Amino acid sequence: MNLKKTFLPLFNPLSKDNPVIVQVLGICSALAVTAKIEPALVMTISVTAVLALANVIISLMRNTIPSSIRIIVQLVVVAALVVVVDQVLKAWNYEISKALSVFIGLIITNCIIMGRLEAFALNNRPWPAFLDGIGNGIGYGIILVIVSFFRELFGSGTLFGCQVFPQWWYDAGYQNNGMMILPPMALIVTACIIWAHRSFNKDLQE
């Protein structure tokens, strides 16, 4: 029982308390970076790394941060981590960094990160805070990858840039659905995931 309780912050955000489809946070990046799987994966790794490290840092500092400036301190910590992530991305894969462009910088104000810092890291020890950061980052990423899978597959006919459907489909008249790569379709696909998730989780239905 104690082990289950210890790892609850890691596993709970994966489904039961998912930040995107249950708390409805982080929707902006779900709309912006899910036209292809690769940027969605990179965004997932970036957000997870920033959230986990920021949670640990804020947890370590939680007893010394004056309440009146806690939001400023959180923003400074997250901003410093985002700068590091941005520089690593530019050095590692400049094309992906360019594709994500401003959205890496907007991790600073990602409502999932600020919400977990405020609601969890400030009130818990570093290890649970680290697990919470990893869990929420992965939970966020699962939805991004699912949305990007359907959008890239049906919008571009590719996965990770590789053609999936055989050429003879196109020769026979098949066409990619250009609407799938438009931002509104990300919202529609996310809404479908929310509907399916709540259909199988009756306790989440109002």
pLDDT in tens, 143-175: 999 999 999 999 888 998 888 888 888 888 888
Mean pLDDT in residue range 173-184:
87
- Name, in order, each residue with C-beta under 8 angstroms of 161's C-beta and a sequence gap of 6 or more: 36, 38
- State the pLDDT at residue 27: 80
Q: Is the dihedral of CA 159, 23, 85, 11 positive or negative?
A: negative
pTM of the complete model:
0.88
d(CA 173, CA 43): 35
pLDDT tops 90 at residue 115: no
| H-run or E-run covering 159 | strand 158-159
pLDDT tops 70 at residue 107: yes
Give the 3-state secondary structure of 16-66. Answer: CCCCCCCCCCCHHHHHHCCCCHHHHHHHHHHHHHHHHHHHHHHHHHCCCCC
User: What tokens does 187 get?
Assistant: 């919202």
pLDDT tops 80 at residue 32: no
Between 107 and 149, the more confident residue is: 149
pLDDT tops 70 at residue 4: no
- State the pLDDT at residue 53: 94
Between 145 and 99, the more confident residue is: 145
